[in-house]
Amino acid sequence: MERPFIVKPGDSISLNGVGKGCDLERTPEYTGAYRKKGETKKPLKKLNKQMLKLQELLYAENQHALLIILQGMDTCGKDGTIRKVMAGINVQGCDVVSFKVPSVDEVSRDFLWRAHKAVPQKGKIGIFNRSHYEDVLVVRVHDLVPKSVWKQRYQQINDFEKMLVENGTVVLKFFLHISKDEQKERLESRINDPSKHWKITEADIRERAYWDDYMQAYEAVLQKCSTDWAPWYIIPANKKWYRNLVITERIVKTLEGLDMKFPKPTSDVSILSVD
């Protein structure tokens, strides 16, 4: 399932459903061979179990870290993805970092400083809920820094991620792709359900006016920062159950690909005896 979702360097991306680069598989409502939620339940459960085993091996081997970056528009399902994809995982081996509006301490440094501080240790899975990519997304859309500054950042991000990969961190980047209509429905369902009011602010709705600008900014990210060492995946995310399946499968396949082994003990443990 790597294809058709991976973005290859040089791919031309159109997120609004028109033009070159807009294959069916890259539309938000795509669900592959699946028609409804029930059909993905069993394969997802199996993948969750595999992931737990692979996570233990990752921890035991202590040679790699896995960094998962989640990006997408408001309501695209970053939180839900973390909840469902990581269901049943050992919390001790997984750190989630949410990138909010930067603090004074953070804006006083380069934009990669806080991201670098937050990368996972070897043996662990780290999840970035939003990330350093906000510095070429919200920052670009709202002109928070001059263009001359943000346009250098694509290359800086690629270099930074290359360094991480060369030092043992595997990087997976998922763009949770929902349609503008789907966002409308999700925002409305939050407005109509008082128990969800705490999840929503007027700002969320105001931000929606910039939809097209965001799509443009995301297209730039996907085209400039999907590298051989740290690829982006465009995840069809209108259907939560399909989104969860695709992402979980990708993580499992990636961990399997590391061909990890339980490490040998430093001393010959088998001759030890316990008093």
Binding site for its own copies (CB under 8 A): 60, 79, 82-83, 86-92, 94-96, 98, 127, 129, 184, 187-188, 190-191, 194-195, 197-202, 205, 208-209, 262-267, 269-270, 272-275
Between 97 and 141, name the residue whose CB sits nearer to its own copies: 97
Report the nearest approach of its own copies to the CB of residue 187 (Å): 5
**Sign of the CA dihedral running 245, 247, 248, 254:** positive
Q: What is the dihedral of CA 230, 236, 240, 244, to 10 degrees?
A: -30
Report the nearest approach of its own copies to the CB of residue 194 (Å): 8
Alpha helices in 94-179 (DSSP H): 104-107, 113-117, 138-141, 147-166
Question: Does residue 169 sit in helix, strand or coil?
Answer: strand
Report the nearest approach of its own copies to the CB of residue 205 (Å): 6
The answer to whether 44 and 240 have CB atoms below 8 angstroms apart is no
Report the nearest approach of its own copies to the CB of residue 111 (Å): 22
The answer to whether 156 and 112 have CB atoms below 8 angstroms apart is yes
Between 237 and 260, name the residue whose CB sits nearer to its own copies: 260
Alpha helices in 124-275 (DSSP H): 138-141, 147-166, 180-192, 202-207, 211-224, 240-257
The answer to whether 200 and 49 have CB atoms below 8 angstroms apart is no
Q: Fill in the DSSP letter of residue 206.
A: H
Report the nearest approach of its own copies to the CB of residue 202 (Å): 6
Between 33 and 104, name the residue whose CB sits nearer to its own copies: 104
Question: Does residue 95 sit in helix, strand or coil?
Answer: strand
Between 207 and 219, name the residue whose CB sits nearer to its own copies: 207
Between 20 and 206, name the residue whose CB sits nearer to its own copies: 206
Between 33 and 203, name the residue whose CB sits nearer to its own copies: 203
Report the nearest approach of its own copies to the CB of residue 152 (Å): 32
Question: Does residue 92 sit in helix, strand or coil?
Answer: helix
